[in-house]
Amino acid sequence: MIHFDILSIFPDMFTSPLGCSLLKKAQEKGIIHVECHDIRKWTSGRHNMTDDAPYGGGCGMVMKPEPVEKALSAIRKKHQEEPTVILMTPQGEVLNQQIVTELSEKKRIVIICGRYEGVDERIRQHLVDREISIGDYILTGGELPAMVLIDAVSRLLPEFLGNPESTFTESFSQNLLEYPQYTRPAVYKGWKVPEVLLSGNHSEIELWRKTESLRKTRLKRPDLLKKMKLSDQERKLLEKIKLEDI
Protein backbone atom coordinates (compact mmCIF):
# COMPACT_ATOMS: atom_id res chain seq x y z
CA MET A 1 0.00 0.00 0.00
CA ILE A 2 1.09 3.57 -0.69
CA HIS A 3 -0.06 6.49 1.43
CA PHE A 4 -0.27 9.76 -0.53
CA ASP A 5 -0.41 13.13 1.24
CA ILE A 6 -1.30 16.04 -1.04
CA LEU A 7 -0.51 19.63 -0.08
CA SER A 8 -2.62 22.11 -2.05
CA ILE A 9 -4.58 25.33 -1.63
CA PHE A 10 -7.36 23.70 -3.67
CA PRO A 11 -7.76 20.21 -2.15
CA ASP A 12 -11.34 19.93 -3.45
CA MET A 13 -9.93 19.55 -6.98
CA PHE A 14 -9.05 15.95 -6.09
CA THR A 15 -12.55 14.90 -5.00
CA SER A 16 -13.90 13.83 -8.38
CA PRO A 17 -10.82 12.03 -9.82
CA LEU A 18 -10.25 10.12 -6.58
CA GLY A 19 -13.93 9.26 -6.26
CA CYS A 20 -14.26 7.47 -9.61
CA SER A 21 -13.29 4.23 -11.31
CA LEU A 22 -10.17 2.31 -10.31
CA LEU A 23 -8.74 4.97 -7.99
CA LYS A 24 -11.93 4.84 -5.91
CA LYS A 25 -11.82 1.02 -5.82
CA ALA A 26 -8.13 1.05 -4.89
CA GLN A 27 -8.88 3.19 -1.86
CA GLU A 28 -11.80 0.99 -0.84
CA LYS A 29 -9.54 -2.09 -1.08
CA GLY A 30 -6.74 -0.42 0.90
CA ILE A 31 -4.31 -0.54 -2.02
CA ILE A 32 -3.75 3.21 -1.74
CA HIS A 33 -4.67 5.83 0.83
CA VAL A 34 -4.92 9.51 -0.10
CA GLU A 35 -5.14 12.48 2.25
CA CYS A 36 -5.62 15.99 0.86
CA HIS A 37 -4.40 18.82 3.05
CA ASP A 38 -5.29 22.50 2.65
CA ILE A 39 -2.03 24.45 3.02
CA ARG A 40 -4.06 27.41 4.34
CA LYS A 41 -4.52 25.44 7.56
CA TRP A 42 -0.90 26.24 8.43
CA THR A 43 -0.96 29.95 7.62
CA SER A 44 -1.03 32.84 10.08
CA GLY A 45 -3.03 36.05 9.97
CA ARG A 46 -6.72 36.56 9.31
CA HIS A 47 -6.35 36.39 5.52
CA ASN A 48 -4.63 32.95 5.51
CA MET A 49 -2.12 34.07 2.90
CA THR A 50 -0.08 31.28 1.30
CA ASP A 51 1.72 33.65 -1.11
CA ASP A 52 3.50 37.00 -1.19
CA ALA A 53 5.19 39.36 -3.64
CA PRO A 54 8.66 38.29 -4.85
CA TYR A 55 11.76 39.99 -3.49
CA GLY A 56 13.41 42.06 -6.19
CA GLY A 57 10.12 42.83 -7.87
CA GLY A 58 8.39 41.16 -10.78
CA CYS A 59 4.93 40.04 -11.74
CA GLY A 60 2.86 37.49 -9.89
CA MET A 61 3.08 36.03 -6.42
CA VAL A 62 5.27 33.34 -4.86
CA MET A 63 4.20 30.61 -2.44
CA LYS A 64 5.60 31.18 1.05
CA PRO A 65 7.88 28.61 2.71
CA GLU A 66 6.38 28.74 6.23
CA PRO A 67 2.98 27.07 5.57
CA VAL A 68 4.55 24.31 3.48
CA GLU A 69 7.23 23.59 6.10
CA LYS A 70 4.66 23.51 8.90
CA ALA A 71 2.41 21.19 6.90
CA LEU A 72 5.28 18.78 6.26
CA SER A 73 6.24 18.84 9.94
CA ALA A 74 2.66 18.00 10.94
CA ILE A 75 2.56 15.09 8.50
CA ARG A 76 5.87 13.73 9.77
CA LYS A 77 4.68 13.90 13.40
CA LYS A 78 1.50 12.04 12.49
CA HIS A 79 3.29 9.18 10.71
CA GLN A 80 6.52 7.50 11.78
CA GLU A 81 7.72 6.45 8.33
CA GLU A 82 9.72 9.12 6.50
CA PRO A 83 7.95 10.13 3.26
CA THR A 84 9.37 10.92 -0.17
CA VAL A 85 8.49 14.58 -0.75
CA ILE A 86 7.78 15.56 -4.35
CA LEU A 87 7.22 19.04 -5.78
CA MET A 88 5.20 19.15 -8.99
CA THR A 89 6.91 21.80 -11.10
CA PRO A 90 7.73 22.43 -14.78
CA GLN A 91 11.37 22.68 -13.69
CA GLY A 92 11.46 19.05 -12.56
CA GLU A 93 12.55 15.86 -14.30
CA VAL A 94 9.97 14.84 -16.87
CA LEU A 95 7.80 11.98 -15.65
CA ASN A 96 8.34 8.65 -17.41
CA GLN A 97 7.60 5.00 -16.74
CA GLN A 98 10.94 4.42 -15.02
CA ILE A 99 10.22 7.16 -12.47
CA VAL A 100 6.69 5.82 -12.00
CA THR A 101 8.09 2.34 -11.32
CA GLU A 102 10.59 3.71 -8.76
CA LEU A 103 7.85 5.60 -6.92
CA SER A 104 5.54 2.57 -6.88
CA GLU A 105 8.01 0.96 -4.46
CA LYS A 106 7.61 3.75 -1.88
CA LYS A 107 5.37 3.48 1.17
CA ARG A 108 4.66 7.18 1.74
CA ILE A 109 4.67 10.01 -0.79
CA VAL A 110 3.95 13.68 -0.12
CA ILE A 111 3.08 15.78 -3.18
CA ILE A 112 3.35 19.57 -3.01
CA CYS A 113 1.20 21.40 -5.55
CA GLY A 114 2.64 24.77 -6.47
CA ARG A 115 0.59 27.76 -7.62
CA TYR A 116 1.04 31.31 -8.87
CA GLU A 117 4.59 32.05 -10.10
CA GLY A 118 5.94 29.02 -8.25
CA VAL A 119 7.33 28.37 -4.79
CA ASP A 120 9.95 30.07 -2.65
CA GLU A 121 13.32 28.57 -3.64
CA ARG A 122 13.95 27.48 -0.04
CA ILE A 123 11.16 24.93 -0.43
CA ARG A 124 13.12 23.32 -3.27
CA GLN A 125 16.42 23.52 -1.42
CA HIS A 126 15.40 22.27 2.01
CA LEU A 127 12.02 20.51 1.94
CA VAL A 128 11.83 18.49 -1.26
CA ASP A 129 13.39 15.16 -2.26
CA ARG A 130 12.39 15.24 -5.90
CA GLU A 131 10.97 17.67 -8.45
CA ILE A 132 8.75 16.22 -11.19
CA SER A 133 7.16 17.69 -14.31
CA ILE A 134 4.58 16.06 -16.58
CA GLY A 135 5.77 17.91 -19.69
CA ASP A 136 7.25 21.04 -21.17
CA TYR A 137 4.23 23.30 -20.78
CA ILE A 138 2.73 25.46 -18.04
CA LEU A 139 -0.46 24.79 -16.10
CA THR A 140 -2.21 26.96 -13.52
CA GLY A 141 -1.02 24.74 -10.68
CA GLY A 142 0.37 21.42 -9.58
CA GLU A 143 -2.95 19.73 -8.86
CA LEU A 144 -3.52 18.19 -12.29
CA PRO A 145 0.09 16.91 -12.49
CA ALA A 146 -0.33 15.43 -9.00
CA MET A 147 -3.41 13.53 -10.19
CA VAL A 148 -1.44 12.18 -13.16
CA LEU A 149 1.35 11.03 -10.85
CA ILE A 150 -1.02 9.31 -8.40
CA ASP A 151 -2.84 7.50 -11.21
CA ALA A 152 0.36 6.36 -12.96
CA VAL A 153 1.98 5.11 -9.74
CA SER A 154 -1.12 3.47 -8.29
CA ARG A 155 -1.87 1.32 -11.34
CA LEU A 156 1.46 -0.51 -10.91
CA LEU A 157 0.50 -1.75 -7.45
CA PRO A 158 -0.58 -5.39 -7.01
CA GLU A 159 -4.34 -5.93 -7.37
CA PHE A 160 -4.96 -2.41 -8.76
CA LEU A 161 -5.67 -3.76 -12.24
CA GLY A 162 -7.91 -6.74 -12.84
CA ASN A 163 -5.20 -8.43 -14.93
CA PRO A 164 -1.72 -7.90 -13.43
CA GLU A 165 -0.09 -8.86 -16.74
CA SER A 166 -1.55 -5.73 -18.37
CA THR A 167 1.27 -3.50 -17.11
CA PHE A 168 3.92 -5.69 -18.77
CA THR A 169 2.53 -5.29 -22.29
CA GLU A 170 1.73 -1.57 -22.18
CA SER A 171 3.57 1.18 -24.01
CA PHE A 172 6.85 2.22 -22.32
CA SER A 173 6.97 -0.85 -20.06
CA GLN A 174 9.85 -2.22 -22.17
CA ASN A 175 10.79 0.96 -24.05
CA LEU A 176 8.41 -0.07 -26.83
CA LEU A 177 5.01 1.29 -27.82
CA GLU A 178 2.19 -1.21 -27.46
CA TYR A 179 1.14 -3.24 -30.48
CA PRO A 180 -2.23 -2.43 -32.19
CA GLN A 181 -5.32 -3.75 -30.43
CA TYR A 182 -8.59 -4.92 -32.02
CA THR A 183 -11.93 -6.26 -30.80
CA ARG A 184 -15.25 -7.40 -32.25
CA PRO A 185 -16.62 -7.15 -34.90
CA ALA A 186 -13.98 -8.71 -37.15
CA VAL A 187 -15.14 -6.51 -40.02
CA TYR A 188 -16.66 -3.05 -39.64
CA LYS A 189 -17.45 -0.84 -42.65
CA GLY A 190 -14.99 -2.95 -44.62
CA TRP A 191 -12.23 -2.36 -42.06
CA LYS A 192 -10.80 -5.77 -41.20
CA VAL A 193 -8.98 -7.15 -38.21
CA PRO A 194 -5.62 -8.71 -39.26
CA GLU A 195 -6.15 -12.38 -40.09
CA VAL A 196 -3.37 -13.56 -37.80
CA LEU A 197 -5.35 -12.37 -34.75
CA LEU A 198 -8.27 -14.58 -35.79
CA SER A 199 -6.11 -17.64 -36.43
CA GLY A 200 -5.82 -18.97 -32.89
CA ASN A 201 -2.09 -19.56 -33.51
CA HIS A 202 -0.60 -18.07 -30.36
CA SER A 203 3.03 -18.20 -31.49
CA GLU A 204 2.16 -16.39 -34.73
CA ILE A 205 0.11 -13.84 -32.83
CA GLU A 206 2.99 -13.20 -30.42
CA LEU A 207 5.40 -12.73 -33.35
CA TRP A 208 2.96 -10.34 -35.07
CA ARG A 209 2.54 -8.30 -31.90
CA LYS A 210 6.30 -8.02 -31.37
CA THR A 211 6.78 -6.97 -35.00
CA GLU A 212 4.02 -4.36 -34.90
CA SER A 213 5.27 -3.03 -31.58
CA LEU A 214 8.72 -2.52 -33.09
CA ARG A 215 7.20 -1.00 -36.24
CA LYS A 216 5.07 1.48 -34.30
CA THR A 217 7.97 2.48 -32.04
CA ARG A 218 10.29 2.98 -35.02
CA LEU A 219 7.68 5.17 -36.70
CA LYS A 220 6.45 7.22 -33.74
CA ARG A 221 9.19 7.12 -31.09
CA PRO A 222 12.55 6.07 -32.58
CA ASP A 223 14.26 7.62 -29.56
CA LEU A 224 12.93 4.76 -27.42
CA LEU A 225 14.71 2.16 -29.56
CA LYS A 226 18.03 3.82 -28.73
CA LYS A 227 17.43 3.10 -25.04
CA MET A 228 16.50 -0.52 -25.63
CA LYS A 229 18.80 -3.52 -25.57
CA LEU A 230 17.46 -5.50 -28.52
CA SER A 231 17.48 -9.29 -28.61
CA ASP A 232 18.69 -11.13 -31.71
CA GLN A 233 15.09 -11.78 -32.70
CA GLU A 234 14.17 -8.11 -32.30
CA ARG A 235 17.17 -7.00 -34.40
CA LYS A 236 16.13 -9.35 -37.22
CA LEU A 237 12.53 -8.17 -37.03
CA LEU A 238 13.64 -4.54 -37.10
CA GLU A 239 15.80 -5.13 -40.16
CA LYS A 240 12.86 -6.81 -41.88
CA ILE A 241 10.65 -3.82 -41.02
CA LYS A 242 13.19 -1.38 -42.44
CA LEU A 243 13.34 -3.34 -45.72
CA GLU A 244 9.53 -3.38 -45.94
CA ASP A 245 9.38 0.38 -45.46
CA ILE A 246 11.87 1.17 -48.25
Q: Please say whether the beta carbons of 23 and 1 come within 8 A.
A: no
pLDDT value of position 96: 95
pLDDT value of position 171: 57
pLDDT value of position 208: 97
Core vs surface per residue 204-240: b (16+ CB within 10 A) or e: ebeebbbbbbbbbbbeebeebeeeeeeeeebeebbee
pLDDT value of position 172: 63
**pTM, 2 dp:** 0.89
Average pLDDT, 10 consecutive residues per value, the chain (246 residues): 98 97 97 98 92 94 97 93 96 96 98 94 97 96 98 96 64 80 96 97 97 96 91 96 88
pLDDT value of position 173: 62
